[in-house]
Amino acid sequence: MGKPLVAILSGAGISTDSGIPDYRGPNGLWRRDPGAEKLVTYDAYMADPEVRRASWQLRREVGALAAQPNAAHRAVAALEHSGVAVRVLTQNVDGLHQLAGVSERKVLELHGTARAVTCTRCHARSPMAEALDRVAAGEADPACRACGGVLKAAVVMFGERLDPVVLGQAMAVAKGCTVFIAVGTTLQVQPAASLAGIAADGGARLIIVNADPTPYDDQAAEVIREPIGTALPALLARLTSEA
């Protein structure tokens, strides 16, 4: 991998304009329904079929697979297409960066993807849409068709570790970039949040675009509190002209 110029760490805030609620904001999912956190906690999910059934129903109702990229996602794709070296490190599982046109190989999904399911026993992967079709057809808790094991979204649940290979690649990007933009993330969930500090320590220009303060604001060269849908496109257009 060549030395990247711009690394973009994206959190839930970049996708709220696409209709996907964030988790920890004032109107976040965990604040509105603290019980919802149990639906994405590994031990609870594995131990209780009722939790699994509720989790599948929530995925159907939220309709994340129907979400479309917004202006911020498109601006990141436009930055890559302009010829600037870009790597996207995302805490999101919605796949909207790729849908917007960012090359798959330039996106590291730190927390996995909600667009696929994986078997907890044999690790077979299949499309989320296929599993949701089975739920819609009456299978409240669809099992793996290969081995009968418990299926789960291919996301990192609470109580699971991040993929060490993906995390290692993300740390290498943070160390090697010249500009690191953290957008729509509270920078409170480790180890992903530490990437901002790694970048700043490595001499990168740290820019934070987020509605609320973060623990890394004092290390940032620039902190932007404007709405992401307009602030990020403006910032990336400025970086493109500088490049």
State the DSSP string of the chain: -PPPSEEEEE-GGGTGGGT---SSSTT-HHHH-GGGGGGGBHHHHHH-HHHHHHHHHHHHHH-GGG----HHHHHHHHHHHTT--EEEEES--S-HHHHHT--GGGEEETTEEEEEEEETTT--EEEHHHHHHHHHTT-SSPBPTTT--BEEEEE--BTSPPPHHHHHHHHHHHHH-SEEEEES--S-STTTTHHHHHHHHTT-EEEEE-SS--TTGGG-SEEE-S-HHHHHHHHHHHHHHH-
- What's the rounded Cα separation, in Å, for the pair 17 and 164? 31
Catalytic, out of 73, 81, 111, 123: 111
Return d(Cα 118, Cα 145) in angstroms, integer. 11
Q: Is 73 a catalytic residue?
A: no
Catalytic residue positions, numbered: 111
